[in-house]
Structure 1
Amino acid sequence: MSRLALLLVLALPVAAQDWPHVADPVAVPLAGALPTPTVENRERPRNALGLNRSLSDVTSPAVQAHLPPDSLRTGAAVVILPGGGFGRVVVDKEGHDLGRWLAARGVAAFVLTYRTGGWPNALGAQDARAAVAWVRERAAGWRIDPARVGLLGFSAGGHHALAAAEGASASGAPSFVAAVYPVVPEGYAERVTSESPPMFFAHAADDRYPAAASAEVWAALLAAGVRSEAHLYAGGGHGFGMGVAGGPVASWPDRFVAWLATFSASP
């Protein structure tokens, strides 16, 4: 068991240790020591393993890798930024669940436990850039194409992913950004240029964070000639993850992988 996984178990109430065990990938710190967060296993909606962990009080960032089998590797890599309202990091529903799913489809996935600190803060965006650079530095050993290392963020994580694409150095600049029901940074569409990375959006119209904000950024990207895609669903609310309640929103992960494959082709 990794040190972070052990910390997670030790932080849970005694009764909670009877949940089915899932072997988390080894956690690697991006800076400083491994985080020692406060852990809560939230009641709903838990995955098949009985997990819906929420980490708070994260003071140093770390990544956990879900690597595909050699026979399936596509060369693409995604750094996943879970949501959590800027004060927490929801590592299962919007992290490891997607990481395992992507790895089974040939995409290397890295769940980022970014620093929390409430709203507003730029720590998540800083940690996202550092994670992209960290993956690129190790790309050869994992058979990852350094030109195909991007970010995928949910909710607050989507906010950080979008912010990370602005003004990043070459090593930390994401090759693409996927934002799933993101909290879009204010005025973001006005700052889109032809140098912005390709982007993918999934958002429900009945989300409390307006889907129109995602649509506005998508339209600005198209106007700037940046290859992007948006899936705007009539229903689904906020926090649907990979589609835990079913319905049309559950189709977005397949659509994302299909978009990622076309992104790797020549324009």
Structure 2
Amino acid sequence: MKWITMLAALTITGSITAGNPINIKVWPNGPKENNGITKEETNISGGRIENCKVAEMYIYLPEKRLNTGAAVLICPGGGYALEAIQHEGHQFAEILRKKGIAGIVLKYRLPNGHYNIPLSDAQEAMKIIRSHASEWGIDPKKVGVSGFSAGGHLASTLGTHFDQQSRPNFMILFYPVISLTEMYTHQGSKINLLGDKFEDVNLIKYFSNDKQVSAQTPPTLLLLSDDDKSVPTVNSTLFYNQLKKYNIPASIYIFPSGGHGWGCNKSFKYYNEWQTLMFDWLSSQKLVP
């Protein structure tokens, strides 16, 4: 298994205009922990980042006339081995932006066995969003997190392991990995996250987010397909049941088909339906009109 390194600096390479994302490095002075990766690769045709060693954010701001004040930090999936940054990142940000929601794509560092690294990137990203809330037209009380597959694990980890500044106000999880328990988990995500500690019972419990739900866990929407062969649907139902145990507002939609990893692909049979359900749920939570 490879191990990963990290650099970062808070620099803006895009102008603050709708449709033109602001590009920010997450760590201005370099991160505290090095993940050992030395060479990052971008597969343009595949729309993915491999061996991610630099944490960055891409901020898509809505037009002022449409702005709802809401924002979503987006965590692409890829089994903690790569990041499907197009159809589970930038394309989702554009969908949100057109509805008046700031879509913020997080290119998080891959763990490479350094299990704290993705969460530290997500926590820092949330703090950056809130520190720039006024500048970006964001309501700091309407900042949520979303994630796809292993990115859903990262998003739900942020939603169950947080401090006051990094707590998301809501979560939108697409076919997420939730549990690291042997019979439920996606094995690749587990091994890539925990590395040589993949059998550590304390870490397995700590990162099994259904076991970490509390009364402070934010309202959650879950979207997935019944025929998902990669991440068992029980990941989402376990999480939903725990949320309801604490009377946390939550909704779950399980489409009859679609498999795993559909993201923002227009070929997904329920492409229009999931968006309608998502925006209706956001409205029901008074996050958007």
TM norm structure 1: 0.82
2:43: which partner in 1?
Answer: 40
- Asked if 1 retains the 8 angstrom alpha-carbon contact of 2:160 and 2:214, the reply is no
In 1, Cα distance between equivalents of 2:264 and 2:276 = 10
What letter matches 1:29 in structure 2? Answer: K
Q: Evaluate the alpha carbon distance shift between residue 124 and residue 24 of structure 1 in structure 2; reply closer, same or farther with a 3 A threshold.
A: farther
8 Å contact kept, 1:236–1:249: no
- For 1:1-267, what aligned pairs fall within 5 Å after superposition? 25-32=21-28, 37-42=40-45, 52-118=46-112, 121-186=115-180, 187-207=208-228, 208-248=230-270, 250-264=272-286
Q: Which moved more, 1:148-157 or 1:235-244?
A: 235-244
Give the alignment's TM-score, normalised by structure 2.
0.76
Question: Which amino acid is the alignment partner of residue 252 of structure 1?
Answer: W
What is the rounded CA distance, in whole Å, between the counterparts of 1:159 and 1:119 in structure 2?
15
Write 1 or 2 for the structure with the bigger share of helix. Answer: 1
Question: CA 1:234–1:249 in 2, change beyond 3 Å: closer, same or farther?
Answer: farther
The code of the aligned residue for 1:259 comes to W
User: In 1, distance between residues paired with 2:159 and 2:74?
Assistant: 14
Distance, in Å, in 1 between the alignment partners of 2:275 and 2:126 is 21
User: Displacement of 1:178 after TM fit?
Assistant: 1.1
How many Å apart are 1:32 and its aligned residue?
4.5
CA distance, structure 2, for counterparts of residue 106 and residue 26 of structure 1: 16
Q: 5+ unaligned residues in a row in structure 1: which ranges?
A: 6-22, 43-51
TM-superposed CA distance for 1:126, in Å, is 1.7
Percent of matched pairs sharing the same residue: 27
**Structure 2 residue matching 1:200: 3-state secondary structure:** strand
Are the aligned partners of 2:73 and 2:105 in contact in 1 as well (CA < 8 Å)? yes
Unaligned 5+ segments in structure 2 are: 1-10, 31-37, 181-207
Q: Could you tell me how far 1:184 is from its partner in structure 2?
A: 1.1
Deviation at 1:86, TM superposition (A): 0.5
Alpha-carbon distance in structure 2 between the residues aligned to 1:260 and 1:36 = 39
Instruction: Deviation per CA, 1:31-76: give whole Å up to 9, x if none.
Output: 148997301134xxxxxxxxx4211222221101110000001111
SS at match of 2:165: helix
Q: How far apart in 2 are the matches of 1:144 and 1:4?
A: 20
Name the SS of the counterpart of 1:171 in structure 2.
Answer: coil
RMSD: 2.4
Paired residue secondary structure (1:201): strand
Quote how far apart the aligned CAs of 1:205 are: 1.1
Change (3 A) 1:63 1:218: same
Query: Cα deviations across residues 225-246 of structure 1 (Å, max 9, x unaligned)?
Result: 1011111111110110124323
3-state secondary structure, aligned to 1:70:
coil
